[in-house]
Structure 1
Amino acid sequence: MRWCVSVGAVLVAGAIVGGDVASIAAPSPKSGIADARDSALSVNVELVIAVDVSYSMDMDELAIQREGYAQAIVSKDFLQALTARPASKVALTYFEWSMSGDERIIIPWRVIDGPESADAVAAEIMKMPIRRGSSTSISGAINFAVRLFEENPYRGSRRVIDISGDGPNNDGDPVTGARDAAVEKGIIINGLPIMVKEPSFATTDIENLDLYYEDCVIGGPGAFIMTIKDREKFQEAIRTKLVLEVAGLTPKGRIVPTAGNEPRVSCLVGEDKWRERGRR
């Protein structure tokens, strides 16, 4: 099942609420990955944060998004969620993406196990210069995240990709193929569709980005989206989403159709709009 929720409608359980770029290219495969994971450090969850920096994101959105993740990681809610699970550790990596092949790791794999390690990660996120990319390849981001899991030296009971974005896939492979391949590996993909601006004819933005994320992007047991339609709710949404992911919860909300059903929005809408733009 997959779920969706809007910020302001989320109720989190009481136990939960109460530099340089490290890498540009995708990591290369290594031998002995399975053996390494057998002896890996145990954590509650392996979390990949995949952050959209495509050109449709304005500089204000990019700054708010970056600050939102940094503040979420050091928040009391996040640290309380961390201790609510037996392992009390989260293995986390954070990268920014735009077109296929433009994925840059900001935070390599790190373990967060308390305030000190959370502060260090948040400070490192904030010190990196803000950048903008070009087109939008959600499929490229998902594929890159999967490769990060394969080289991850930690082992968690869950593997989660937390992916944000303000538009549909318009570059690289179709998004549904990347999603399905990740889900087949036992990976959960949650989404943060950003809908704070009116769609423009000059871009490939769409009106129903939340439905697109529900039907074309997210997947896996308990996968959910959290829609942002108000800039003022940006940081609150990111914090709540990370708390739910670390705690292994899904928000209260309505059930949405599974990936096997007919999408309510074409999963190739971004590619179609990109081609139409090229013909003008």
Structure 2
Amino acid sequence: MLSPWRGLAFLLLTAGLMVLEPWSAHAEAEVDLALVLAVDVSLSMEPDEQDLQRQGFVEAFRSSEVHEAIGKGMLGRIAVVYVEWAGAGYQQVVVPWTVIEQPGDSRAFAARLAASSIQRFGYTSISGAIDFSLWKLRTSGVQAVRQVIDISGDGANNQGRIVTAARDEALAQGITINGLPLMLKRPDGLWDIDNLDLYFRDCVIGGPGAFMIPVREKAQFAEAIRTKVVREIADRPRIRSLVQPTQAEGRANCLAGELRRQRSGN
């Protein structure tokens, strides 16, 4: 039979283990970066363009450049979730939060992404994508040094709340939003706008170190995505502006998409 003192010591030790166990789990969930890859699958994108976009992300996470960037971080690991979005009512997690520390983790993430089918839906709600991404960051289960939402898209916000309201809410919480405006076609459709890169610069991206990389040719997809992911992971400061040169000067109309939808009567 245990003496009172030995019994007390046993209880204290057990209690200590109960306190330390969650702390260890918490420490294991610390990452350099929590990254939401929010990818446009609206009907305005052709199926071959969506395939190229998906393959670009797959190749990025298979690449040695991404593996090296992760390994050079303070903690040497990141957490990533891959989300596809279209209109205000469609945001779909394709690959859930995944902690990537070793090259094998990154390749497994790429394999899971490559094996998933691509869905297509109507309208474009960048604000919905940002709001959903913000919720995913709040419920990620990791403690991140930095939090980034990576938005790719080929059009302006035309459904859901105003895009700048969603952007500003995310920025107020210290989150950075980067952009990949897809400019593969001339803006000749009812929903298209001129100078999508200017729109992304003024209405979508923001936060510490925010940047965008426009894609104007299909051959640029893979390199642009890999470059963007590496920069997001490495968080390397640049002397010059991180915003790429735009096609035109001046400020974009952040209601451009909503105005086009209003004119169409939809």
SS at match of 2:213: strand
8 A Cα contact 1:244 1:250, kept in partner: no
Residue of structure 2 in register with 1:15 after alignment: none
1:155: how far off? 0.9
Residue of structure 2 in register with 1:7 after alignment: none
Say how many residue pairs are matched. 238
Amino acid corresponding to residue 209 of structure 1 in structure 2? L
1:50: how far off? 0.1
The structure whose Rg is larger is 2
The 5-angstrom pairing of residues 83-94 of structure 1 reads 83-94=71-82
Q: Distance in 2 between matches of 1:90 and 1:251?
A: 22
Range with bigger deviation, 166-175 or 107-116: 107-116
1:94: how far off? 0.5
8 A Cα contact 1:159 1:187, kept in partner: yes
Structure with the largest fraction of strand: 1
1:255: how far off? 6.2
Structure with more contact order per residue of length (Cα contacts < 8 Å, sep ≥ 6): 1
SS at match of 2:94: strand
Deviations 1:61-110 (A, max 9, x none): 10000000011011011011111112110100001000012000001111
For residue 101 of structure 1, the aligned residue among 73, 76, 89 is 89
The 5-angstrom pairing of residues 125-136 of structure 1 reads 125-136=113-124
Pair 1:200 & 2:193 matched: no
The 5-angstrom pairing of residues 6-17 of structure 1 reads none
Q: What's the TM-score, normalizing by structure 1?
A: 0.81
8 A Cα contact 2:81 2:97, kept in partner: yes
Counterparts in 2 of 1:50 and 1:157: CA distance versus 1, 3 Å:
same
For residue 65 of structure 2, the aligned residue among 77, 96, 99 is 77
Q: Distance in 2 between matches of 1:269 and 1:114?
A: 43
Pair 1:211 & 2:198 matched: yes
Counterparts in 2 of 1:198 and 1:240: CA distance versus 1, 3 Å:
same
1:232: how far off? 0.3
8 A Cα contact 2:179 2:204, kept in partner: yes
Q: Distance in 2 between matches of 1:192 and 1:251?
A: 18
Residue of structure 2 in register with 1:114 after alignment: 102
Q: Distance in 2 between matches of 1:168 and 1:250?
A: 28
Amino acid corresponding to residue 157 of structure 1 in structure 2? V
Q: Distance in 1 between matches of 2:107 and 2:124?
A: 30
The 5-angstrom pairing of residues 261-276 of structure 1 reads 264-276=251-263
Identity of aligned residues (%): 44
8 A Cα contact 1:224 1:250, kept in partner: no
Counterparts in 2 of 1:255 and 1:62: CA distance versus 1, 3 Å:
closer
Structure 1 stretches of 5 or more lacking a match? 1-34, 257-262
8 A Cα contact 2:212 2:242, kept in partner: no
1:119: how far off? 1.1
Pair 1:170 & 2:129 matched: no
Q: Distance in 2 between matches of 1:95 and 1:42?
A: 22
8 A Cα contact 1:74 1:122, kept in partner: yes
Amino acid corresponding to residue 207 of structure 2 in structure 1? G
1:253: how far off? 4.6
